[in-house]
Amino acid sequence: MSWLDKAASETQITHRHRLWLYVLAGLVMIFLMLPTLIVIPMSFSESQYLEFPPREWSLRWYRNYFGSVSWMQATATSFKAGILTMIVSTTFGTMAAYGLHTSRFRWTGPVVALLLTPIIVPVILVGIGVFYAYVRLGLVNTLTGIVLAHSMLAIPLVVMVVSSALKSFDMNQELVARSLGASRPRAFFLVTLPQIRFSVITGAVLSFLTSFDEVIVALFVSGGPNSTLTRNMFAALRDQIDPTIAAISTLVVLLTSALLALSQLFGKRES
Amino acid sequence: MTGAEPNAVGLRRDAFLERLALFGLGGPAVLLVFVTMVLPVGWLFWLSFLDDSGALSLEHYRRMIEQPSYGRTFRTTFEISVLTTAICVALGYPLAYVLSQLPRRAANLCMIAVMLPFWTSLLVRTYAWLVLLQRRGIVNTWGIKLGLWDEPLTLVNNLNGTLIGMVHIMLPFLVLPVYGSMRAIDRDFLKAAANLGAGPVRAFWQVFLPLSMPGLVAGIIIVFILCLGFYVTPAVLGGGKVTMVANRIATDIEVFFNWGAASALGVVLFALTIALLYVAARLVGLNRVLGGDDP
């Protein structure tokens, strides 16, 4: 009797009878991974026309990218925006999560709800709203403008991640520290923060990626020398298929994976 | 007692002040969200009720009902969202099912397949599909080579491309809550069903499916809501032929500078989102929809 005729689940169905299910699941998994995986070899193709597998390999599109002033400028803007967003939203978000968790006021619920609204509001509405406000505030096409808007989008993520960490943190530890003479900030930085640091780091990584990947708001409020990478990529996609974007995509995938792997690593060490 | 009384009051006041200070830590975040989101969106809300001369009116909303082009946009948005959600269920439910039956370790490994697109930039994936689905793209070349179809299919710059791209983006949002729900099902129920004479098919429909419903409903609602607001995918993979509400909003601003019309559309989109979230909260609890965690 092969494994195909063995019972596959509690209902005694055999593997043979649901082979189609395995095939379907496999195909769906391939569907999910295909685009990400196929971009990478394509970026090393010599040809102008995207073919797979590439007939000739080259670094042409990477040279194109690194040699282009406008792509480099956009990349710098995206990094600056991402890092500043990460700093602003992680700081503000952690402060808010900690403050709201410890103060236990009656209005905490509505405040948390307010901080989480950016996830619910359709991004296009946020985009044109921010644009409308920025025109009046003179913040269109400025780095400050992008960072403020992106931080707003990232704050809910930080608040959620840090709040859930605080929920499982025993606040009595802080009380102990304070009864031993530590001030509240000292108790927070020496006792609480080290123990919730994985969540704070996760929140920081998520904020960076939120900003780095964000398209719609950037489309409206970034421009000129302060165009983000995503804005330029979007513009390029609309015009023609430029293989340079495959090279950029590959680099973005690598960066994202590295960041996520890094945050996982921190998590392992903590637990 | 007389000495303790003022002391207690003082302590209570100190405690209150400290709580107030802690509460104040939320200030910067609240201020930022208020200034960059609540105010601008509120402003748009107000604008949507003003006509071209600046007087209060329902002009923009009336036009939305009267002009057939708006009707088309809403119909397209609705159709695409329903189709995307349906395809996601058809593909995602079986995948989640298989994953939930695998041993933990193997399931976690397969989860990488689900999480990889989840973590890949939306633009990168949209670009990848644009390339894959071209007339002479990989999908067409391989499809013809394998004899699946004879002529190159038009897979991009139309509804097909938009759907493929959107299903790809939304699939993880469906698989994750469904998988969570399935993992939580007590397998003894299925054993009991089999014991009582139910065949595998009946045990699935009458026991497993109902038990996995909360995750499925949460997944369906989140996917549908997110579909309604799509902008990038229809813009790039639809090749200008697919206009969803968000695309229409952008065009109203970029081309016609018609803030009132764009705002009205935005308000309708937002209202729909809130209404759906409300329904979701009543059905399965808001936490499950937004956080995906099992209560």
Count Cβ atoms within 10 A of the Cβ of residue B4 and give its class: 0-12 exposed, 13-18 middle, 19 or more buried. Answer: exposed
Q: Which of A99, A114, A127 sits opposite B33 (nearest CB)?
A: A114
**Least Cα separation, residue B244 to chain A (angstroms):** 11
pTM summary value: 0.85
Name the residue of chain A whose CA is nearest to B196's CA: A11
Whether A87 contacts chain B with CB within 8 A = no
Task: Concatenate the DSSP letters of all residues of A96-144 into one string.
Answer: HHHHHHHH--TTHHHHHHHHHHHHHS-HHHHHHHHHHHHHHHT-TT-HH
- How would you write the pLDDT of chain B (295 residues) with one tens digit per residue? 455 567 888 888 888 888 888 888 888 999 999 999 999 999 888 888 887 777 787 787 888 888 888 888 888 999 999 999 999 999 999 999 998 888 888 888 888 888 888 778 888 888 888 888 888 778 888 888 888 888 888 888 888 889 999 999 999 999 988 988 888 888 888 888 887 877 788 888 888 888 888 888 888 988 998 898 888 889 888 887 888 888 888 888 888 788 888 888 889 889 988 888 888 888 777 666 665 443 3
pLDDT in tens, B216-270: 888 898 899 889 888 888 988 888 788 888 888 888 888 878 888 888 888 988 9
Q: Which residue has the higher pLDDT, A187 or A53?
A: A187
Q: Is A131 in Cβ contact with B253 (below 8 Å)?
A: yes
pLDDT of residue B295: 32
For B68-290, CATH gives 1.10.3720.10
Return d(Cα B168, Cα B157) in angstroms, integer. Answer: 16
The pLDDT of residue A81 is above 90 = yes
pLDDT of residue B289: 62
In chain A, residues under CATH classification 1.10.3720.10 are 69-270
Return d(Cα B145, Cα B283) in angstroms, integer. Answer: 47
A271 pLDDT band (50/70/90 cuts)?
very low
Q: Are B227 and B85 in contact (CB under 8 A)?
A: yes
Whether B289 contacts chain A with CB within 8 A = no
Interface test with chain B among A43, A128, A199, by most B beta carbons within 10 Å: A128
Return d(Cα A218, Cα A215) in angstroms, integer. Answer: 5
Q: Are A29 and B113 in contact (CB under 8 A)?
A: yes
Q: Is A7 helix (H, G, I), strand (E, B) or coil?
A: strand
pLDDT of residue B151: 83
Whether B122 contacts chain A with CB within 8 A = yes
Return d(Cα B243, Cα B251) in angstroms, integer. Answer: 10
Q: Is B126 in Cβ contact with A237 (below 8 Å)?
A: yes
Classify residue A18 by its DSSP letter.
Answer: G
pLDDT of residue B101: 85
> The domain A69-270 is classified under which CATH number: 3.40.50.2300, 1.10.3720.10, 2.30.110.10, 3.40.50.720?
1.10.3720.10
State the CB neighbour count (10 A cutoff) for residue A127.
Answer: 26
